[in-house]
Structure 1
Amino acid sequence: MKLIADGGSTKASWCLIGPGKEPLYFSTEGYNPYYVDSQYIRQSLHKALPAEVLRAAVTEVNFYGAGCEPSTEKVITQALSALFENAVVSVGSDLLAAARALLGNKPGFAAILGTGTNTCLYDGAQITHSIDPLGYMLGDEGSGSYIGKKLLIAYCREYLPLPLRRQFLAVYGLTKEQIMERVYKDPMANRFCAGFTKFVKQHLDDEFIYQLATDAFHDFFRSLVCHYPDYAGYTLNCAGSIAFHFEDILKETAAHYGMATGRIIQDPIRGLAYYGEKIPG
């Protein structure tokens, strides 16, 4: 049996594939090796696995994840190898997962807009060029953590219009001091910031909030997309919860920069199951 996973920093989507059986889809929390270690992943996943996943019967695990690079993939490999002792474990980036799910065997431009951001050019099998998103502290323009951070800045500096400030306080009950504490001391501060995109989505009819979200996507294009050679010659293909839930604004922004929109999907896992290819070592 084969397990395929697509893991962001907040959520990981899984698919169990076995002969003669319908694929089993399930979710766990996300496992970014920059923020969690092997022991944490092993313990969390052990608790989250459905009863239908018989660990001894799994012979192959393909994990695509946020933060999975040559320098960090050992964290994931150790955790999965300890859980699935009979399996060959392969680890690849979430960006490769998105490209394969969005484009299959065709070349093009692919991106992720979820808790974090990532972008690339893809040749139909592998990533050929990618600009470093730099993470939520320095970059990740257009992501959930970026949009959430912009909202928190507006709230803490009292730029947020008073009716919205009151609604924000009523919903979250957070003071400026509590926000600062979470942002600077919480090891999962990127998730914390991304959690406020729900508030943004719910208030897009407000001019201030709509402009805040629009500015975030313009930053995404100016800082990342527009720096790819001949970017406007590609279609924008994007995976992730932010791309999916803010699709209209994303399409408007792409058109502003002369880029047509291709596929927008929330979760790459079904495309990965269809792609069905082992991650090369």
Structure 2
Amino acid sequence: MIIIADGGSTKTNWCLVNEEGKKVYFNTEGYNPYFVSTAYIINSLKENLPSDLPLESITEVNYYGAGCSTADKVQLVIDAMEQVFTNSKVYVGHDLLAAARALLGTGKGFAAILGTGTNTCIYDGKNVAHNIDSGAYILGDEGSGCYIGKKLLTDYIRGYMPEAVRKTFWDTFHLTPDDVNEAVYVKPLANRFCASFSKFVYDNNVNLEYSRNLVKTSFEDFFRNLVTHYPNYKDYTFNCIGSVGYNFRNVLEEVVTENGMIMGNIIRSPIDNLVKYHLELSPSHL
């Protein structure tokens, strides 16, 4: 039995494939090693993995995760996985590589993540060939759910939010500006907190112009600060994975076109295509 998993900062999608090729899907929270420890991951997996998961029969775990970009962060996750999947060989890669493989298979091209966070790359058909650092949620992550949420929260605490939107925001969350600042600067996992408000932007219909402008300017910042800095970026189609890119795809396609690119694949989650990659296109890294 093998497992393929795609982990964002908020959620991880898992797929168990047994000897007969049957696929079993399940979810846990996300495990970004910049925000959680090995012990945290172990405890969370033990509490949240399906109780009937045959851990002793799993021989291979292919885990791709947000934040798994340096050797020490990768090792942190490997240490956790090996404590839970005790009979498995464990491979840990970056979620950007998962996105590229899911979007492009063994083909070359441009791939992006627009979810809780943001990332981009040029993919050579096997590995990430060129990546501009997104800066994560404090320094960058333009276009992400966190970035959109931050823009919304900034408007709220400064009093810039249109009154009808502000009333709906208060009725929905009952958060004061002090509550927002405490959640961002004192409590853990501020990136998830900020990103959670992108759903409010998506659902808000009391001022569609305000919501649309918030999203469009976020995507314009994403292109200006990241995408357009790739050499010959207009030669590639724009391929994107993640809930934010998928949910706001109409606005995204408009910005893509305005920046001289052609829209390619856009999918919410890479897990199905990633499973296909491992089973059909490139069986086993181990």
Question: TM-score, with normalisation over the residues of structure 1?
Answer: 0.98
Q: Deviations over 1:45-103 (max 9, x none)?
A: 11111134211001101110000022311111011100111100110000000000000
Answer whether contact 1:62 1:278 (CA < 8 A) is retained.
no
Which of 256, 265, 269 lines up with 1:267 in the alignment?
269
Residue matched to 1:125: 126
Indicate how the Cα distance of structure 1 residues 213 and 106 shifts in structure 2: closer, same or farther if over 3 A, else same: same
**In structure 1, C-alpha distance between the alignment counterparts of 2:208 and 2:4, rounded to whole Å:** 40
**In structure 2, C-alpha distance between the alignment counterparts of 1:133 and 1:21, rounded to whole Å:** 37
Matched residue type, 1:202: D
In structure 2, the residue corresponding to 1:71 is in which secondary structure? helix
**In structure 1, C-alpha distance between the alignment counterparts of 2:212 and 2:157, rounded to whole Å:** 18
Indicate how the Cα distance of structure 1 residues 163 and 241 shifts in structure 2: closer, same or farther if over 3 A, else same: same
Residue matched to 1:142: 143
Residue matched to 2:27: 27
Equivalent residues in 2 for 1:48-87, closer than 5 Å: 48-69=48-69, 70-87=71-88
Q: Is the counterpart of residue 250 in structure 1 residue 247 in structure 2? A: no
Matched residue type, 1:134: G
Answer whether contact 1:81 1:87 (CA < 8 A) is retained.
yes
**In structure 1, C-alpha distance between the alignment counterparts of 2:15 and 2:34, rounded to whole Å:** 24
Which of 188, 209, 212 lines up with 1:210 in the alignment?
212
Alpha-carbon shift at residue 187 of structure 1 (Å): 1.9
Matched residue type, 1:255: T
Alpha-carbon shift at residue 278 of structure 1 (Å): 6.0
In structure 1, the residue corresponding to 2:133 is in which secondary structure? coil
Residue matched to 2:112: 111
Identity of aligned residues (%): 50
**In structure 1, C-alpha distance between the alignment counterparts of 2:7 and 2:33, rounded to whole Å:** 11
In structure 2, the residue corresponding to 1:91 is in which secondary structure? strand
Greater Cα offset, 203-212 or 178-187: 203-212
Residue matched to 2:166: 165
Equivalent residues in 2 for 1:170-185, closer than 5 Å: 170-185=171-186
In structure 2, the residue corresponding to 1:137 is in which secondary structure? helix
**In structure 2, C-alpha distance between the alignment counterparts of 1:121 and 1:7, rounded to whole Å:** 20
In structure 1, the residue corresponding to 2:159 is in which secondary structure? coil
**In structure 1, C-alpha distance between the alignment counterparts of 2:118 and 2:20, rounded to whole Å:** 37
**In structure 2, C-alpha distance between the alignment counterparts of 1:212 and 1:198, rounded to whole Å:** 13
Matched residue type, 2:65: G
Greater Cα offset, 170-179 or 49-58: 49-58
Answer whether contact 2:15 2:24 (CA < 8 A) is retained.
yes
Alpha-carbon shift at residue 203 of structure 1 (Å): 2.3
In structure 2, the residue corresponding to 1:45 is in which secondary structure? helix
In structure 1, the residue corresponding to 2:110 is in which secondary structure? strand
Question: TM-score, with normalisation over the residues of structure 2?
Answer: 0.96
Query: How many correspondences in the alignment?
Result: 281
Alpha-carbon shift at residue 18 of structure 1 (Å): 1.2
